[in-house]
Structure 1
Amino acid sequence: MPNARTHTRPAALAVWLIIAGTVGWWAAFSLTMERFHLLQDPDSIASCDFSVLVQCTKNLEAWQGSVFGFPNPVIGLAGWVAPIVVGMAILAGARFARWFWWLFAAGMTFAFGFVLWLISQSIYVLGTLCPWCMVTWAVTIPTFYAVLLHLVRSGLVPAPAPIRRGAETLMGWMPLLAVISYAIVAVLAQLQLDVLGSLF
């Protein structure tokens, strides 16, 4: 039966954290470079601007692109380091205290909530799909799921045994959960922006 001391070295989760952190960091870095490029030459076209619908510039220059007074990608540059470090530490044999996992989960919850808000702003307010932003969405969503399910299955979050076993089962279905989430975003984008109609 899972308890607070089981799953102390979740290798699969660690590998995913490293992959997701690396991909997320690269997306944040790429967006940061695009922002610097636009600041140097406001009349330039970002390399991620493919059409009126698929572009980065509108997202970067809107107030939603600097919610806290500085470009959002800076948050990613700092934030995505955490999953990489945690993943590496787990593979190296580190075991973290309950408070550490809760703090890490709080950070991932913030990232997940922020991404959901950015998705809504991108689709319903700005009317654009930013390529590098979508890469960030693609890794943030399953990472949040994985961390949350790990906390539940390992007993780090108080839950009855059946719920812990359910979390353990759902970890094996993580790819499907991610695909379902992507499909929901795609459907919302299609209904609001007629993505397919703009392509064909």
Structure 2
Amino acid sequence: MSAPVIDARPKGLAIFLVLAGSIGWIAAFALTLDKFQLLQDPNAQLGCNLSILVQCGVNLNSWQGAVFGFPNPLIGLGAWIAPIVVGVSILAGARFARWFWIAFNVGLLGALGFVIWLISQSIFVLGTLCPWCMVTWSVTIPSFIAVTAFTLKQGILPSSPGVRRIAGVVLSWIVVVTLACYLVVAIIAQLRLDVLSYL
């Protein structure tokens, strides 16, 4: 017996996934080009190196920038294709089985966990804010929140009626929830790095 297919076609979510995936992919591509430039010339002045605090070079040259033995941006080049494909597929009329949504949600959870770790390393260890990295952070966070809220609201992830209602509220207020997450990161960065003094 085949897995049940979820009937809902969340077009708004689909459009968001295409946009977020595209933005994330562009950021990964830019970081990949910068890494190539550093490999050719370790002293290269990257376009994203705006100051001692705001730069990509330190992050790209650190071990955290290649935690799996190869540059992290290569992960983004491959991974950001997934939300783009999912979004385009939904807009084209596709409906996915429950297992697919769960797998997709788990993948985004892994992405969020990796991003949180990278944020902590950037702020507390490297002492820098990488512009293209921040672009990646800025789309990973709402992507996870939006897909998780959708799967909870639809009952794809087992949840009570109360949780489904809360998920629906989160989904309708996704911009506010995302901005609140950004604010938390900004406050942590300010407390640790005194960002405002560099402006």
Compute the displacement of 1:162 (Å): 1.9
Superposed CA deviations along residues 81-124 of structure 1, whole A, max 9, x for unmatched, are 00000000001110100111111111100000000000000000
Superposed CA deviations along residues 164-190 of structure 1, whole A, max 9, x for unmatched, are 122112101000011000000000000
Compute the displacement of 1:6 (Å): 6.5
Does 1:92 find its partner at 2:92? Answer: yes
Mapped partners of 1:30, 1:185: distance in 2: 23
Compute the displacement of 1:194 (Å): 0.3
Residue 182 of structure 1: aligned partner: 182
Letter aligned with residue 118 of structure 1: L
Q: What number of residue pairs does the alignment pair up? A: 196
Q: State TM-score, norm by structure 1.
A: 0.96
Residue 73 of structure 1: aligned partner: 73
Mapped partners of 1:57, 1:85: distance in 2: 31
Deviation above 4 Å: which 4+ runs of structure 1? 4-7
Q: State TM-score, norm by structure 2.
A: 0.96
Mapped partners of 2:110, 2:159: distance in 1: 22
Q: Structure 2: which 5+ residue stretches go unaligned?
A: none
Any idea what SS the aligned residue of 1:110 has? helix
Residue 55 of structure 1: aligned partner: 55
Residue 138 of structure 1: aligned partner: 138
> 1:104-183 alignment to 2 at 5 Å?
104-183=104-183
Q: Give % identity.
A: 56
Mapped partners of 2:90, 2:181: distance in 1: 27
Tell me how large the CA RMSD over aligned residues is. Answer: 1.1
Residue 24 of structure 1: aligned partner: 24
Mapped partners of 2:163, 2:189: distance in 1: 33
